[in-house]
Chains A and B, each alone.
Chain A
Amino acid sequence: MIRHLLSAADLSLEDATLVLDTAEEMSRLTEGRSVKKLPALRGRTVVNLFFEDSTRTRTSFEIAAKRLSADVINFSAKGSSLSKGENLKDTALTLEAMGADGVVVRHAASGAPYRLASSGWISANVLNAGDGTHEHPTQALLDAFTLRKRLGELAGRHIVIVGDVLHSRVARSNVLLLATLGARVTLVAPPTLLPTGVDQWPCAVSYTLDDVLPSADAVMMLRVQRERMNDAFFPSAREYSRRYGLDLRRFSLLPAEALVLHPGPMNRGMEITADVADDERSVIVEQVSNGVHVRMAVLYLMLAGAASDGARDERRSERDQVNGAVSDGARDERDQAAGASDAATNEGAE
Chain B
Amino acid sequence: MSRDLHSSRAVLDDDDVARALTRIAHEVVERNKGATDLVLLGIHKRGVPLARRLAERIAAVEGVDVPVGALDVTMYRDDLRMRPARALEPTDIPPGGVDDKIVVLVDDVLFSGRTIRAALTALDDIGRPRAVRLVALVDRGHRQLPIRADHVGKNIPTSMAESVKVLLSEVDGHDAVLIGRRGEASEVVS
Q: Enumerate chain A residues within 8 angstroms of B1, measured Cβ to Cβ.
A: none
Q: Enumerate chain B residues within 8 angstroms of A21, measured Cβ to Cβ.
A: 87-88
Kindly state whether residue B10 has any CB partner on chain A within 8 Å. no
Kindly state whether residue A90 has any CB partner on chain B within 8 Å. no
> B76 and A345: CB pair below 8 A?
no
**B77, B81, B112, B124: residue with the most chain A Cβ atoms closer than 10 Å:** B81
Q: Enumerate chain A residues within 8 angstroms of B76, measured Cβ to Cβ.
A: 39
Q: With A40-B75, A300-B75 as given contacts, are A348 and B88 in contact (CB-CB < 8 Å)?
A: no
Number of interface residues of B (CB under 8 A): 33
> B82 and A306: CB pair below 8 A?
yes
**B75, B111, B160: residue with the most chain A Cβ atoms closer than 10 Å:** B75
Instruction: Give the CA-CA distance A28 to B71 in the complex, in Å.
Output: 12
Instruction: Give the CA-CA distance A344 to B114 in the complex, in Å.
Output: 11
> A1 and B126: CB pair below 8 A?
no
Number of residue pairs across A and B with beta carbons under 8 Å? 79
Kindly state whether residue A307 has any CB partner on chain B within 8 Å. yes
> A304 and B87: CB pair below 8 A?
no
> A304 and B82: CB pair below 8 A?
no
> B160 and A347: CB pair below 8 A?
yes
B44–chain A nearest beta-carbon distance, Å: 11
Kindly state whether residue A87 has any CB partner on chain B within 8 Å. no
Kindly state whether residue B164 has any CB partner on chain A within 8 Å. yes
> B85 and A348: CB pair below 8 A?
no
Q: With A25-B90, A33-B126, A38-B75 as given contacts, are A348 and B114 in contact (CB-CB < 8 Å)?
A: yes
Instruction: Give the CA-CA distance A346 to B82 in the complex, in Å.
Output: 10
Q: Enumerate chain B residues within 8 angstroms of A38, measured Cβ to Cβ.
A: 75, 125
Q: Which of B84, B89, B115, B160 contacts A306 (CB 8 A)?
A: B84
Instruction: Give the CA-CA distance A28 to B126 in the complex, in Å.
Output: 12
Q: Enumerate chain A residues within 8 angstroms of B124, measured Cβ to Cβ.
A: 35
Kindly state whether residue A151 has any CB partner on chain B within 8 Å. no
A313–chain B nearest beta-carbon distance, Å: 12
> B87 and A34: CB pair below 8 A?
no
Instruction: Give the CA-CA distance A95 to B30 in the complex, in Å.
Output: 59
Kindly state whether residue B91 has any CB partner on chain A within 8 Å. yes
> B81 and A22: CB pair below 8 A?
no
Q: Which residues, 63 to 98 on B, are CB-close (under 8 Å) to A?
A: 72, 75-77, 79-92
Kindly state whether residue B22 has any CB partner on chain A within 8 Å. no
Interface residues on A, range: 20 to 34
Kindly state whether residue B17 has any CB partner on chain A within 8 Å. no
Q: Enumerate chain B residues within 8 angstroms of A199, measured Cβ to Cβ.
A: none
Q: Which of B88, B112, B127 contacts A347 (CB 8 A)?
A: B112
Q: Which residues, 156 to 203 on A, are CB-close (under 8 Å) to B?
A: none
> A40 and B112: CB pair below 8 A?
no
> B85 and A28: CB pair below 8 A?
no
Q: Enumerate chain B residues within 8 angstroms of A300, measured Cβ to Cβ.
A: 75, 85, 88
Kindly state whether residue A302 has any CB partner on chain B within 8 Å. yes
> A29 and B91: CB pair below 8 A?
yes
B126–chain A nearest beta-carbon distance, Å: 7
Kindly state whether residue A350 has any CB partner on chain B within 8 Å. yes
Contact bitstring A224-254, B, C-beta under 8 A = 1, else 0? 0000000000000000000000000000000
Instruction: Give the CA-CA distance A98 to B144 in the complex, in Å.
Output: 36
Q: With A28-B91, A38-B125 as given contacts, are A348 and B79 in contact (CB-CB < 8 Å)?
A: yes
A125–chain B nearest beta-carbon distance, Å: 11
Q: Enumerate chain A residues within 8 angstroms of B126, measured Cβ to Cβ.
A: 33-35
Instruction: Give the CA-CA distance A305 to B82 in the complex, in Å.
Output: 6
Q: Which residues, 108 to 124 on B, are CB-close (under 8 Å) to A?
A: 109, 111-112, 114-115, 121, 124
Q: Enumerate chain B residues within 8 angstroms of A305, measured Cβ to Cβ.
A: 80-81, 83-86
A103–chain B nearest beta-carbon distance, Å: 18
> B163 and A350: CB pair below 8 A?
yes
> B81 and A306: CB pair below 8 A?
yes
- In the complex, the chain B residue whose C-beta lies closest to that of A302 is B85
> B85 and A1: CB pair below 8 A?
yes
Q: Enumerate chain B residues within 8 angstroms of A341, measured Cβ to Cβ.
A: 82
Q: Which residues, 1 to 27 on A, are CB-close (under 8 Å) to B?
A: 1, 18, 21-22, 25-26
Q: Which of B83, B88, B121, B182 contacts A25 (CB 8 A)?
A: B88
Kindly state whether residue A301 has any CB partner on chain B within 8 Å. yes
Instruction: Give the CA-CA distance A33 to B93 in the complex, in Å.
Output: 10
Instruction: Give the CA-CA distance A256 to B11 in the complex, in Å.
Output: 58
Residue pairs across A and B with Cβ atoms less than 8 A apart, 5 shown, are A28-B91, A33-B126, A35-B126, A38-B75, A348-B111
Nearest 7 CB-CB pairings of A with B: A305-B85, A40-B75, A35-B125, A25-B88, A305-B84, A307-B84, A345-B79
Given contacts A306-B84, A350-B111, 17 further A-B contacts (CB under 8 A): A1-B85, A21-B88, A25-B72, A28-B92, A34-B125, A34-B127, A35-B124, A40-B80, A301-B85, A305-B83, A306-B82, A307-B85, A309-B81, A347-B111, A347-B160, A348-B111, A350-B109
